[in-house]
Structures are given as C-alpha cells and as structure tokens.
Chains A and B, each alone.
Chain A
Amino acid sequence: MKRRLLTGNGAAAWGARLANVDYVPAFPITPQTEIIETLGSWIDSKEMAGRMVTLESEHSMVTAAGAAAATGVRVFTATSSQGLLYAMEMLYTVAGWRAPFVMVNVSRGLSAPITLEPDHNDILAARDSGFLQIHAATCQEVLDSVLMAYRLSEDARVRLPVIVNLDGFYLSFTREPVEVPKEDKVLSFLPPFDPENIRFRASTPISQAVAVLGGGPYSYFRYETHLAALNALSVFDEISVEFGRFFGRSFDAVEAYRTEDAEFVFVMMGSFATKAKEATDRLREAGWLVGLVRPKLFRPFPKEHFLKLLKGKKGIAVIDQNISMGKGGVLYTELASVLYGSLDDGPVMASFIGGLGGRDISSEEFFEIAKVIRRAAEEGKAPPPRLLYTEEELREMRKLQVIANAERNQAGKRVGKKDE
C-alpha cells in the first residue's frame, strides 16, 4: 500500500478524517494547532464532512465534545499541555458521563517555567480522569491509534473517552512515511458509531442530566467507571487482533522489542522510546542482551502484559519523561506496584528521569543506563533514581542564573546553608 510523508499532526488529522467524525470542537494551542487547521481546511473544501466549531477555551471545547458525544454523534478534538489542564474539570466530568469520543493530546511540558517542547506531565495529569490513554511513538501509530481509540471508546463494554497522546515536535512537526489506509477498509474496521441507548433528537426532547448523589450511589458510578476502564484491557486486545487482520500491522497494547532473550530491559513511553530502540540495536551489536518494553496503552494499565514480558529479566531501567513532585517517575511507580509480589525473584528496577521539556536523551546515555542496570543486577541492589542531566547542562544553567541575577549573582554557590 502506498505510503506518504505526514507529520504526527497530519497523521492525527487523517485519523479523524478516516473515522468520519461528525463534530470537531476546537481551540488552538502550540504544538497541536496544525491538527485543527488541517481538519478545518478539509471541512472547508468539503473533502471531509462534519462540522467544526471554534470554542472560546479548552474548557468549553471539552464540554462541547462531551455534550455532542452524549447525543450519539462521533466527536474528535485535540489539545496540548496548558490547554489540557485548563479543560481538566471537564475531563473528569465528561468521562463521568461515559461520553465516548477521542481527543488527541500533543504533549508539551507544563508551565512554569514555560516550554514548547514535550514531556508527559500534561497527559499524566489526566491519568485518573477516566479517559483511557494510548501513547504513540511514530506518526504511523498516531493515525492507527485514533482508529483504535474510536473502537475502544465506543465499545459498549467500555464507553469511555480516549486520549491519544503524541509528543510535540518529535512527532507533531516531524514527517515520517505513513500508510494511510483506504476509506472503505477503515469503514469496515470502524463502522459508523452505533450509539445504542445514547440518543437525543430535537423532535423528542428529553432531559439528560446527572444528579447530586450521596456516597453510596456515587461510589457505584465511580467504581463502574473503573471496571469499564479495566474491561478495556481485553477489549483492546480483541480489537488489536482485528486491526492486524484489516491493516496488516500489529497494534499490541505493549510493544516488546528484542525482549525474548533479553536480560535487561528499557521501559519507556512515547516517541523517545524509538531512541531506546536504536540504542537496543547498537547494544545488541556489542553483545548485550537488552530489549525494550513500551506500553502503548497506559490507561488501563496493561498489568498482565508487563508481567509476561518482564518475567525472568535480571534488570529493568524505567525511563520516565515526567516527574511527580515529591515521588519521582510515574511509570516507574506504576510498574513497581505491578511487579511487587507478582514475580518470584523479580528483576532489579532502576528509575531514570529524562527528556523533561524535550531535553534530548543521547545514545551514550542509553548505553550508560544499560551499564548501570547490569551493575545493579550483579549487586542485587537498585541504584538511587537518576535525573539525566550533565555537568555541561549545569554550567549552562549557571550562566542563565547569572543573567537573571538570581540572588545577586550567587549562582554556582550553594545557598540555603546558614551564614557562617
């Protein structure tokens, strides 16, 4: 099948177009804007059906998306970073409505300080909202994820909104060859949304509302949402088999790269994981038994997949492109909770934080991480968490602090100690 060069944003737009979405509430933000611009131009030129409305904020945009989905139409929207956070109240609300739709988030580090480049603290802030999460690592996966996301979201056993995440710049503005599937094939894989009991017709006015509830019924609805999210694990596996049959590409919940005979494994999410893949190949050439495990599905958390893939490994290096203040890497924490007590003679785990605000992770750093985890396995002792940060970077930081006149040019000196 013919491939074409598309940015991650372009691939996201193609996903929405092929899904035949009915409604696109939109609000611009870097680095996402190209998605809604692309959809806007297609809708304008009638290459694509559907209606687009520009709202006055992301909060309203997600409200509109949830409300439209609650009338039984297929909805797509997209945001990034601060926009996602601005909409956070409604993320929880529309997930509580059990409104099925797909939102793309283009990851970008959060303020303050402000950046345009990616890390995952924005998307992980939505971790507990009830939205399911698929994390893409390539432009092809962005398109595929959107199609998968609609199947997952609209499935009656799930019926929850889904976020597809892609990294700003590294995917959003990067073109790669992408196979855009034929419309009829997509239509067979993803038929028009059958909303079943979700309906709203102007000719038959009914009220749709949620009530203020006490703890008993409240707990029921909250836990049902959790159970639906857990259901999405087996539903995802089922859809991914179908996806492979339709499009000839696999779309597993967790990617396992050269893990079969691996003793040491990198665990990462998102586009930076392809760097780990590159490093894995180089390390393999040098005789290292390493591999990569990358969750595409992050909510629900694919526990069993991890257990199967990590059984018998000597060491695991989790590289988090996020940081939970006062705790550390989120993926590390979640994986540790899965492995604890589940594997006999479990692997040594090491936590690395890297790629915050788009900070690059070099091949040499992956090589060094492999050395660290091998040593840790030999000694049977996990090393302390490590921020990927070099002396050169700290020196550059000192220069900035001098410019900012931080504490009257005290940059470089350790402060916080009592004056002698």
Chain B
Amino acid sequence: MYRIRFHGRGGQGMKTASRILGTAFFLEGFEVQDAPRYGAERRGAPIFAYVRASKEAINERGIIKEPGLVIVADDTLVAMPAAGVLQGVTEDTVILIVSVIEAELWKDRLNFPGRVLTVIPPGEGQSHERAFTGGAIAGAAARLTGAVSKASLEEAIREELIPLGTKVVEENLEDALSVYEFMAEHEGCVAPGTAIAVEGFTPPNWVELPFEDARLSSPAIHAEATSEQIKTGLWRTVRPVIDYELCNRCSWLCSTFCPESAISVNEDGFPEIDYEHCKGCMICMTQCPPHAISGVLEREAKGGEDNET
C-alpha cells in the first residue's frame, strides 16, 4: 500500500493535493482513501492531508503513521515540532521538501538517513497567490510512486478543479506537469509499504491512569495569559512590515483593527508588530492611511533573517 502524507499550511492546497492524487490513483485502478486533517485552526496554521492507495481493499484508517512519502509544501514547517512533519518517518521514507535550499543541506540538518529531495516552488518569483498549487504537490507524488500516468494526473486535476474555473485548472496543470517532469529521474523511488506485522510487534506502553484530585484533573486553566504561549505567528505566510519613514503615527488604526491585538504603540507613538502572534491577516495593511505597511512573503522575510544572523 502507498502511504503518502502532505504537510502544508491551511490555504496552501494540501487537501486539494490529496484529492488530486487520490483521484489519479483511483483512475489507475487503485483502491483509495484520501483525507485532510486539521483542528480549529485557520488559514496559515500547519495542517496535513494523506492518501492511501492499494490494489486491495483498504481497512487502515486515520492518520498515516509510517509514511512511504512525506511532501512538505512549506519548508518553514520542517523545524516546527507542532507540524509533525517527521512523525513516523523511517529510513525507507522519501521526504520531498518544496524549498530553495538544497536537498543535501536538508539531509544534514535533519540528520535523516533516507532519501531527501527538493523542488523549487513552481511559482517562485511570482505573486503570492501563485506560489503554491495542490497540483504541483500531487504531480510530484504521482511521479515519485511511478504508479500514476501523466494522463491520469491530468484527468484528476480536471475532475477535481473544474468547479473552481479554467484558470485554476490551467495553473495546476502547468505546475503539476512541470513537477512531474522534474521528478522523472526519481520515478518509482517511493515503494509501496507493508502493514505492521504481528511478528515481533512492539507492545503498547499502556499505563494505568491513576485517580487524581479534581484540583488537578478538571480541564481548567488556572494561569493567566496562556494564549501567549501559542505562537500563532507560525501560521503567517505573509508578514506586514511597517515603513517607519511613511508612518504618520496616527497610532490607533492599525493597532485597533488588529484582530489579534498583536500591534502595540510604543512611547514615541509608533506601532510595533508582535511577530510571535501576528497571523498575517494583513488587515493592518489595508487600514493604514499612508500605506506605510506592506506585505512580504514570510519565506523571503525569513531568508533575510537567516542572512543577517
């Protein structure tokens, strides 16, 4: 059975990718299961989606624990424990990261014994909306398994995306086919995995849950400002940046409209953005009268930081 997991952020097309790949496998005569997984988070939060494909009926269900292929659509997620990108990977897992950083460097950073591949975002250098498509991710997975023909990939993209209009279909087709070609030399490097066998299985570490007093065991939070510990800034794909030359210190519009209260005003009357909690909704940018706030792709902003340090 092929077990494939896609990691990205809400809004980056992971669910779409899983659907396109699922449909493509289905067109190739596989039994298929595809699903997204997310919590209460919104756009920008780490999410994942997965696909199982097998020539036999699939009884496995839920999250894929031992993926044969992991595709990471946003390389800022790799280092984020909450994203769980590396969960359950073994040396047989192939990891594909959408990144401008070279594969060898990722392999070193991750200290990963298996195969690491990278692909440059297909929309690199273009507008933000064009930076990622689910089609590209599905195209990569299709080629790496070697089990999905180009024709099935194309048909799957059309089938899944036609309700979204011709432009979306064309963009996804273009991305998917270019990545499909780009991955040609690695065709079939992802092999179907086997099921967990009874022979020599690791028994679960079951624990007897002790009784604990309600002072401890009721689901109440007894501390103040705990939401500060949730770094919602990690959800951000676009970063608002203030040009203090242009800022006229009206001092309240951006800070008032910020739904996260992530903009404070300093003693000199200048607004300051708390990037640990700013989700990148960009409402501040649309509110700022002198257009002193602009949006920078997080990936590029991060790259700048890396160079500085």
Contacts and interface: CB of A to CB of B under 8 A. Distances in A.
A67 interface: no
Interface residues of A, number: 54
B126 interface: no
B16 interface: no
Given A5-B22, A360-B62, A404 B220 contact: yes
B31 A177 contact: yes
Given A177-B26, A389-B207, A170 B62 contact: yes
A405 interface: yes
B32 A175 contact: yes
A368 B207 CA distance: 13
A138 B213 CA distance: 40
Contacts of A414: 210, 212
B185 interface: no
Interface string B218-262: 011111001001000000000000000000000000000000000
B45 to A, nearest CB: 13
Given A364-B202, A388-B204, A403 B229 contact: yes
A176 interface: yes
B198 A285 contact: yes
Contacts of A394: 207, 209
A275 interface: yes
Nearest to A392: B205
Contact of B195 (A282, A368, A401): A282
A288 to B, nearest CB: 7
A47 to B, nearest CB: 13
Interface stretch (B35-43, B91-99, B116-124, B135-143): B35-43
A411 B216 contact: yes
A275 B32 contact: no
A391 B202 CA distance: 14
Contacts, number: 137
B61 interface: yes
Contacts of B220: 404, 406
A175 B63 CA distance: 14
B198 A388 contact: no
Interface residues of B, number: 46
Interface in A1-56: 5, 7
Contacts of A386: 206
Contact of A282 (B198, B202, B221, B226): B198
B60 A278 contact: yes
Nearest to B27: A5
A112 B221 CA distance: 13
A286 B60 contact: no
A181 B109 CA distance: 52
Nearest to B203: A368
B209 A389 contact: yes
Given A360-B63, A415-B213, A286 B197 contact: yes
Given A169-B37, A272-B61, A414-B212, A368 B222 contact: no
B219 A363 contact: no
The 6 closest A-B pairs by CB, nearest first: A405-B223, A416-B213, A286-B198, A278-B59, A174-B35, A113-B219
Interface of B: 19, 22-23, 26, 31-37, 39-40, 58-63, 65, 195-199, 201-207, 209-213, 215-216, 219-223, 226, 229
5 contacts: A175-B33, A285-B198, A360-B62, A390-B206, A393-B207
Given A112-B219, A173-B37, A408-B222, 4 more contacts: A275-B62, A281-B59, A286-B198, A392-B205
Interface of A: 5, 7, 112-113, 116, 169-170, 173-177, 271-272, 274-275, 277-278, 281-283, 285-286, 288, 358, 360, 362-365, 367-368, 371, 386-394, 401, 403-408, 410-411, 414-416
